[in-house]
Amino acid sequence: MIGMNLPDGLAPVADGLHLWAPAHTGTWGFANCLLITSGEEAALVDTPYDRVMTEALVAAAGSLLPAGGVRIIVNTHGNGDHTFGNGCFPGAEIIATKAGAEHLCHEPSPQQMHFLTHQTPADQPLGWYARRHFGRYRYEGVEAVPPTLTFSGRHELAVGDIQVELIEVGPAHSAGDLVVHFPGRGVVCAGDVLFAGDHPVHWNGPLANVVAACEAILALEPEVVVPGHGAVMTPRDVQCYVTYLRELEALIHSRHAAGFSADEAAADILGSGFHDQLGLPERIVILTAVEYRHLDGDTGEPDLVALAARAADWAYRNRGDD
Ligand SMILES: [Zn+2]
């Protein structure tokens, strides 16, 4: 299991913008967080997965933080690895999309994550997978703190002298994704619309919506794009990611038309070595199952744990010796 090895500093991205980038690939939960500081004001785009990580971020930020600390949080979407640290900033305004706030209802709670990582059978696929990829986090005592301000479409705010535009681009990765644009600074935070280094996971889909979200990011003409996970990207990297999504969409749709089940289609795509330089290949199982839901006209809420369990089954069957 990959340990924590958390960054002890923040990397400058632009004037007033600094990135806390855990940068581990091949596993789940290490999300990027962007600190915005100007004068006596500070805001944070996304919060880490647990209190230990959030305290590490605050310590790493050190003298960048004004005396009043972080007063505004933006959650790019409702997944716990971007929101469970919210409770470490009591009294902060927490901003998300209305759809993102409603999605919190369907996200596994900290208590459910603790159960999955501690009380499921360790020799069964889901218990094995949960411990391997989520067992390092401390979910005890974490309270999922919901947004205090929600919007649909667009929302603008100022952090000191820094103008911040929040643009809803979901449903794509999740029901309520937003991206954060800093006009004049050439920076966009994409949340989990974008992953670098690993196969992405998209719980809501369809993949065409994720492509559209990427195109909305590129239309902002950024120089630097911060993905939800992994290393900072250029617009060219985003273009390559769009190509990946379109290739995958075509592979899934053709197998659906040929009568494959979702799991058969995923196994076939994985067997072909699709982008096998990327980590977490089992996420193809989730991406395929989600795309099939749309192709089959299933409009119910996606069950995140059930989807993860299907990926865990594939990973368990294809595990190495470690
Ligand atoms: Zn994430």
Instruction: Determine the distance separating the centroid of ligand 1 and the alpha carbon of 83, expressed in angstroms.
Output: 9
Question: What is the 228 CA–ligand 1 centroid distance (Å)?
Answer: 6
Cβ contact 210:193 at 8 Å: yes
Cβ-contact 158, 39 below 8 angstroms: no
Residue 322's pLDDT band, with cuts at 50, 70 and 90, is low
Distance CA 88, CA 52 (A): 10
257 CA to centre of ligand 1 in angstroms: 31
The confidence band for 124, taking pLDDT boundaries of 50, 70 and 90, is very high
pLDDT of residue 43 exceeding 70: yes
180: in domain: yes
User: What are 240-260's pLDDT values in tens digits?
Assistant: 999 999 999 999 999 999 999
Domain that holds residue 224: 11-250
Cα 34 to ligand 1 centre (Å): 14
Separation of CA 259 and ligand 1 centre (Å): 32
**Ligand 1: centre distance to CA 49 (Å):** 9
Residue 272 lies in a domain: no
Q: Compute, in angstroms, the gap from residue 48 CA to the centroid of ligand 1.
A: 10
Percent of the chain with pLDDT over 70: 98
**301 found inside a domain:** no
Tokens at 258, concatenated = 């040929």
What is the per-residue pLDDT for 301?
85
What residue type is assigned to position 276 of the chain?
A: D
Gap from CA of 298 to ligand 1 centroid (Å): 24
pLDDT at 174: 96
Rounded Cα distance, 269 and 284, in Å: 8
Mean pLDDT throughout 139-151?
Answer: 95
**Is 208 strand, coil or helix?**
helix
Ligand 1 geometric centre to CA of 82 (Å): 6
Q: How far is the CA of 156 from the centre of ligand 1 (A)?
A: 23
Distance (Å) from CA 176 to ligand 1 centroid: 13
How many other CB atoms are found less than 10 A from the CB of residue 266?
29
What is the pLDDT, as a whole number, of residue 320?
A: 77
**Tally of structural domains, the chain:** 1
Tell me the pLDDT tens digit for each residue of 14-38: 999 999 999 788 999 999 999 999 9
Evaluate whether residue 4 is within a structural domain: no
pLDDT of residue 270: 97
Q: Can you tell me the distance from the alpha carbon of 38 to that of 54, in angstroms, rounded to the nearest whole number?
A: 21
- Report CA(170)–ligand 1 centroid distance (Å): 15
The H or E element spanning position 187 is strand 187-195
Tell me how far the alpha carbon of residue 79 lies from the centroid of ligand 1, in angstroms. 6
Distance (angstroms) between ligand 1 centre and the Cα of 271 equals: 26
Is residue 27 in a domain?
yes
Pair 311, 282: CB distance under 8 Å: yes
Cα(108) to centroid of ligand 1, in Å? Answer: 13
Cα angle 252-257-263, degrees, rounded to a multiple of 5: 50
Per-residue model confidence as pLDDT tens digits over 267-289: 999 999 999 999 999 999 999 99
Rounded distance from Cα 200 to ligand 1 centre (Å): 9
The CA distances from residue 24 to 6, 101, 265, 276, in Å, are: 9, 27, 29, 17
User: Distance from the CA of 192 to the center of ligand 1, in angstroms?
Assistant: 5
Q: Provide Rg for the chain, Cα atoms.
A: 19
In this structure, is residue 92 part of a structural domain? yes
pLDDT of residue 299: 85
Mean pLDDT along residues 55-73:
97
Number of H helices, E strands in the chain: 9, 12
- On whether residue 64 sits in a domain, the answer given is yes
pLDDT tens digits for range 189-224: 999 999 999 999 999 999 999 999 999 999 999 999
3-state secondary structure 23-56: CCCCCCCCCCEEEEEECCEEEEECCCCCHHHHHH
Per the domain annotation, does 142 fall within a domain?
yes
One-letter identity of residue 180: V
Residues in the chain: 322
CATH code for the domain of 178: 3.60.15.10
Distance 296 CA to ligand 1 centre (A): 26
In sequence order, the 6+-apart residues with CB closer than 8 A to the CB of 127 are 116, 120, 121
Closest CA to 68 of 93, 35, 33, 42: 42
